[in-house]
């Protein structure tokens, strides 16, 4: 959650034109209603718990760059109105800083906050009400009898289990074929306080840009711009992407001074544009999942809390069927095929050459895939020059990982698992580390090179 830019919106990343096609008029209305309610729920929790997290209601604008076809944007306005969003407005020009960005739709009563300050408030409330939270406790296995096994060998039995991970760690096939993981990039630059309006902003480009501000101090705000998304593990050109983001930002917001922060995050998309929240599609009735946030993690996460708490105490929730992980969305077949072809294509990595013919070309503090006969190794050379070699095979479903030079991680292109440079799993669905191949110092490599 620390990586999110925390837009609280009911405008929906996938757009209502597409959501109407996929979920019908009744479904799209429920999507609009539920995300509107999620923003209101966050607001009421912030108030009732007195959480100091910079929460504020702001307008959102979806704009089409000047000169581009405005028909899809007009269609989106109509679709969002059909879905029941109120108070939408068409604007012929959009002034956020000093430059007109183009025509836009204005969405009233969106919101933004500081996600970690909000979470800290939730944590306090949970503990104050008798709850217990165990951090740094990695679950490695989920048993069919609602027990989980942790990495230190403990077994925890539960009355109900909620698996709320980017991608479920308990199922192999039920949902992985219906989700794709993308990498997104964000930068934050200093702007004089008030020189950029406090709003949420998105454009209609593919991939799209997203923008918000955050208070920094009495004189300055941070302008946060994100975008340049791509499927995890398929590109390794973060520097170019950050440069493009910065250019995009400076062209539209000339008051930006230095860039203070750069980071990347993950977005998990489902084939039909909304999260999977509810009973796990296979196995025990009392195992629940929440996954596939579609870039709407703040509202989908809140909805998961609202829906699952009702289901656990045996109360039917009115949005239960809409978000049911077992749903079949007929219109999403094309997305299903596309996503799975991309996953299948990743397995051809077994046949290709490595990034380098051997370890000697790998710079200190960097990693690369190297072929060892019929196998591929993920090799990381640490700052002292020692190579640490792991099997490149992802323990989840045996795709081959790729090096991510920005975060210095091994990323799996199939379902988005992520491993540290030293092979430790840091993001599922994999729950095990990369298998070691052995380590070699620079001195140990040299005689072999000469030989
Ligand atoms: Fe599924 Fe790697 S995350 S194979």
Instruction: Show Cβ contacts of residue 161 under 8 Å, excluding neighbours closer than 6 positions.
Output: 142, 146, 148, 284, 286, 287, 288
The alpha-carbon radius of gyration of the chain (Å, integer) is: 23
According to the model, what pLDDT value does residue 179 have? 87
**Weakest mean pLDDT among 16-20, 189-193, 197-201, 436-440:** 436-440
Cis ω before 207 (30° cut-off from 0): yes
Dist CA 165 CA 208 (whole Å): 25
State yes or no: pLDDT of 445 exceeds 60: no
Q: Ligand 1 pocket, 394 CB below 6 A?
A: yes
Report which DSSP code applies to 433: P
Residue owning the nearest CA to atom 1 of ligand 1: 415
- Residue 399 Cβ inside 6 Å of ligand 1? The answer reads yes
Closest by CA position to 265, among listed 350, 185, 381, 385 = 185
Ligand 1, pocket-test mutation among 178, 339, 404, 412, most atoms within 8 A of CB: 412
Positive or negative CA dihedral for 393, 399, 402, 407? negative
What's the CA-to-centroid distance between 343 and ligand 1, angstroms? 9
| Residue 81, number of CB atoms within 10 A of its CB | 15
Residue 428 CA: nearest ligand 1 atom is: 3
Please state at what angle helix 71-82 crosses helix 16-49, rounded to 10 degrees. 60
pLDDT category, 357, cuts 50, 70, 90? confident
Report pLDDT for 447.
Answer: 39
Residue 152 buriedness (CB in 10 A; 0-12 / 13-18 / 19+):
exposed
User: Band of the pLDDT at 294, cuts 50, 70, 90?
Assistant: very high
Task: For ligand 1, pick from 182, 231, 266, 394 the residue to mutate: most ligand atoms within 8 Å of CB.
Answer: 394
Helix (H) or strand (E) holding 404, with range, is strand 402-404
Q: Confidence class of residue 207 from pLDDT cuts 50, 70 and 90?
A: confident
What is the pLDDT confidence band of residue 439, given thresholds at 50, 70 and 90?
low
Q: How far is CA 178 from CA 45, 236, 266, 338, 374, in A?
A: 32, 24, 16, 10, 31
For 337, the token pair is 């095929």
Percentage of the residues of the chain whose pLDDT score is greater than 70: 94
Report whether residue 378 contacts ligand 1, using a CB cutoff of 6 Å.
no
Least confident segment among 220-224, 259-263, 373-377: 373-377
């Amino acid at each position: 959650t620390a990586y999110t830019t925390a837009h609280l919106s009911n405008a929906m990343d996938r757009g209502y034109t597409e959501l109407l096609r996929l979920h019908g008029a009744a479904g799209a209305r429920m999507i609009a209603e539920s995300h509107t309610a999620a923003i209101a729920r966050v607001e009421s929790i912030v108030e009732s718990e007195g959480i100091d997290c910079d929460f504020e209601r702001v307008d959102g604008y979806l704009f089409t760059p000047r000169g581009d076809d405005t028909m899809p944007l007009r269609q989106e306005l109509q679709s969002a109105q059909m879905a029941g969003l109120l108070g939408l407005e068409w604007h012929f020009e959009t002034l956020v800083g000093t430059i007109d960005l183009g025509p836009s739709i204005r969405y009233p009563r969106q919101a933004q906050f500081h996600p970690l300050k909000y979470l800290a408030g939730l944590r306090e409330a949970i503990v104050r009400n008798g709850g217990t939270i165990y951090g740094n406790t990695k679950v490695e296995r989920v048993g069919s009898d609602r027990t989980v096994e942790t990495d230190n060998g403990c077994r925890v039995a539960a009355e109900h289990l909620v698996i709320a991970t980017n991608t479920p760690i308990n199922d192999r096939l039920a949902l992985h074929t219906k989700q794709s993981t993308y990498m997104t990039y964000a930068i934050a630059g200093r702007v004089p306080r008030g020189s950029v309006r406090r709003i949420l902003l998105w454009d209609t480009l593919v991939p799209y840009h997203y923008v918000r501000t955050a208070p920094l101090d009495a004189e300055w705000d941070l302008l946060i711009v994100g975008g340049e998304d791509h499927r995890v593990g398929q590109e390794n050109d973060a520097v170019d992407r950050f440069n493009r983001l910065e250019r995009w930002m400076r062209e539209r917001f000339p008051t930006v001074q230095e860039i203070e922060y750069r980071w990347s995050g993950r977005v998990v998309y489902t084939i039909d544009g909304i999260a999977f929240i509810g009973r796990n599609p296979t196995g025990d009735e009392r195992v629940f999942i929440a996954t596939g946030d579609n870039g709407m993690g703040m509202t989908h996460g809140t909805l998961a809390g609202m829906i699952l708490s009702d289901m656990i105490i045996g109360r039917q929730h009115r949005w239960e069927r809409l978000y049911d992980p077992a749903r079949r969305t007929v219109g999403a077949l094309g997305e299903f095929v596309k996503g799975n072809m991309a996953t299948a294509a990743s397995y051809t990595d077994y046949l290709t050459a490595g990034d380098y013919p051997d370890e000697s070309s790998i710079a200190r503090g960097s990693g690369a895939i190297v072929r060892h006969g019929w196998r591929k190794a993920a090799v990381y050379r640490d700052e002292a020059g020692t190579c640490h070699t792991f099997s490149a095979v992802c323990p989840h479903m045996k795709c081959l990982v790729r090096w991510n030079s920005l975060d210095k991680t091994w990323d799996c292109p199939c379902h988005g698992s992520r491993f540290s440079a030293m092979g430790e799993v840091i993001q599922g669905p994999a729950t095990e580390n990369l298998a070691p191949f052995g380590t070699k110092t620079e001195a140990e490599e040299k005689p072999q090179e000469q030989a």
